[in-house]
Structure 1
């Protein structure tokens, strides 16, 4: 396997930002939003023309970060663009690939509780989810927090759980889908309940 393909599923096809969880799993994007360029994995980056178009728009806007709190202090767009896998590169990216130094690592906290508090602080305001997380790790922290609000052993009908989740965000169906997919909530034909993890 070529060096360029190592970890390709962990790299944004548009801007080259690398993640600690896959942005693509086989043929499916995670549908998370890139912290750097704002691309939705599996939507805007499925075909070469789409990748190039989004990259050109991002460049025209001055390489603005969608989540600026994750921008490394010594970040430089050309260095990061050099991390774009070759098959998604255009002429501007290929020029950077010839001379780019290694990319700085993504900022993470060594303390899990501090990391949890940081993530919850970015996504929750006044007990509500302000916007959906961009990475799987952030989703896990947020979903775990939301699921902790369900009473253990209590079974909820769909209307009840929708009402509870609507208090968190205006899209309760999306939250419920994430909670069940990630194993925080279990269900049968009639009821939903907090899963044991």
Structure 2
């Protein structure tokens, strides 16, 4: 069974990004490079951490602004890549896996 990345919508994670307690798997998405349990552990001030959905949103926006680079080009389908980045037409479809509208990404 494969799982969906909550950042980029890639449908090939080997295990869920988070367990039933909300703990990250420490897996790294082959597409967007997000490491669950590490990249979402953002301290905004001493002892105060950003909510995980907010870290996902910020990371996703920055990743897309960088052109949606593929982290591991060997494991991400070649037909969906162009010059090491997710093809825009596929990115639009991939984000639908997590109910994100590419054209309204900032909302």
Pairs within 5 Å for 1:89-104: 89=100, 92=102
For the residues of structure 2 that align with 1:93 and 1:67, how far apart are their CA atoms? 25
Q: TM-score, normalised by structure 2?
A: 0.64
Superimposed CA distance per residue, residues 3-24 of structure 1 (whole angstroms, 9 cap, x where no aligned partner): xxxx9x9221110112242222
For the residues of structure 2 that align with 1:94 and 1:23, how far apart are their CA atoms? 24
RMSD after superposition: 2.6
Q: Secondary structure at the match of 1:22?
A: coil
Q: 1:21 to 1:47 in 2, by over 3 A?
A: closer
Q: TM-score, normalised by structure 1?
A: 0.37
Among 17, 22, 25, which residue is 2:16 paired with? 22
Aligned residues: 84
TM superposition shift of 1:72: 1.2
Among 71, 78, 88, which residue is 1:73 paired with? 78
TM superposition shift of 1:30: 0.5
Moved runs in structure 1, 4+ residues, more than 6 A?
none
Structure 2 gap ranges (5+)? 41-50, 81-89
| Equivalent residues of 2:3, 2:16 under 8 A apart | yes
| Equivalent residues of 1:82, 1:93 under 8 A apart | no
Say which structure is richer in helix: 1
TM superposition shift of 1:29: 1.1
> Are positions 1:41 and 2:36 aligned together?
yes
Q: Secondary structure at the match of 1:69?
A: coil
| Equivalent residues of 2:29, 2:35 under 8 A apart | yes
For the residues of structure 1 that align with 2:7 and 2:103, how far apart are their CA atoms? 10
Superimposed CA distance per residue, residues 29-73 of structure 1 (whole angstroms, 9 cap, x where no aligned partner): 111111100001123346222111100111011110110111213
1:116 is matched with none
For the pair shown, the structure with the greater C-alpha radius of gyration is 1
